[in-house]
Amino acid sequence: MTSIGNRHGSAVITLPSDTDYLVTRAFDAPAKLVFDALTTPELVQRWWGFETSEWLVCEIDLRVGGQWRYVIRERDMEVGFHGEYRELNGPHRMVWTEMYEGVPDPGPENYPVCTATLDEVDGVTTMTLHVRHTSKEERDAVLATGMESGMQVSYDRLEDLVQQAA
Amino acid sequence: MARTPTTTDAFSAVAEASRRDLLDAIGTGEVTVGELVDRVGLSQPQVSKHLGVLRAVGLVLVRVDGRHHWYRVNGPELQPIHDWVRHFERTWNTRLDRLDDLLAELQAPEERP
């Protein structure tokens, strides 16, 4: 029997350093299938973005040094990301760069670097996605939005503080 | 007066790693500057400077008791930052829940051929 949605809302964000964040999520699927869903255009278009997104570009050149680019239209706004595959050890590990196209391009050497590891145990695959911002300038640009700084406070500690002191 | 970008609001105040360390060190208790110097390994002037910023944006409150100043975290002021982290987590959950559904669909037996 396939139960849909029993793991919904279970992604966990942690903050290993000032420039990094980690997303952890388990899936009831073999690592091979999760890897395919991350790297096959037909499958990416079925989950990345939003339910209402219209896909304009979904290009994946799946080899080390190969480029990828996603562009969706969401409420009349085009949202694009692109980058390069750095390491492909399917189905257990891949490394790529990922740059949002809505801000000035800092040059490929300064793109955030994403590392996904897929660990399969008894048919359950735990994905750990590690996102590392690569330069102070790039990080500060994000900090300047006044948004990501919040993310850098240790989430668990913060929750304790808020609940205790509120 | 020129606005100092690192001290204008709670979000920018916690962009500085030392101030996050101080908030963690204060924790859920009430502590003196001297205790914070011991806990975070900064000099007293540095701790006092960062506490000044945290007080200015309302993230830290102070109580004066005789010769001692007791510092504590102001929970409600941390709430917007906390809410933003939650928002970020929700965004990720939305995306990964869709991946979850797709993986379930790909593994489901054909129900209606």
Q: Which domains does chain B have, with CATH numbers?
A: 10-74 (1.10.10.10)
Question: Under an 8 A CB cutoff, do B96 and A13 touch?
Answer: no
Helix segments in chain B, DSSP class H: 10-13, 17-26, 33-40, 44-56, 75-107
Amino acid at position A55, single letter = W
Taking CB atoms and an 8 Å limit, are B85 and A166 in contact across chains?
no
Q: How many domains does chain A have?
A: 1
Q: What is the CATH number of the domain that holds A98?
A: 3.30.530.20
* Nearest-CB residue to A9 (from B85, B93, B108): B93
Whether A1 maps to a domain, the answer reads no
Which contacts qualify for A134-143: CB closer than 8 Å, 24 or more apart? A134/A19, A134/A109, A134/A110, A135/A106, A135/A110, A137/A106, A137/A110, A138/A106, A138/A110, A138/A111, A138/A112, A139/A18, A139/A19, A141/A103, A141/A104, A141/A106, A143/B12, A143/B15
Q: What is the pTM of this model?
A: 0.66
Q: Encoding tokens for residue B74?
A: 């102001």
Per-residue confidence at B105, pLDDT binned at 50, 70, 90?
A: very high
| Domain span including residue A108 | 12-165
Among residues A9, A27, A36, A40, which one has the least CA distance to residue A119?
A27
Contacts of B104 in chain A (CB under 8 A): 2-5, 28-29
Residue A6: inside a domain:
no
Q: Report which residue type is found at A122.
A: D
Q: Indicate yes or no: CB of A161 within 8 angstroms of CB of B106.
A: no
B95–A165 C-beta distance less than 8 A: no
From B23, B81, B101, residue closest to A4, measured CB to CB: B101
Q: Which of A13, A14, A77, A22 is nearest to A50 (CA)?
A: A77
Per-residue pLDDT of A49-64, as tens digits, reads 777 889 999 999 999 9
Mean pLDDT by 10 residues, chain A (166 residues): 64 74 87 93 88 91 98 85 96 94 86 95 93 66 40 41 46
Q: Tell me if chain A has a CB within 8 Å of the CB of B63.
A: no
A2 touches chain B (CB under 8 A): yes
Is this prediction's ipTM beyond 0.85? Answer: no
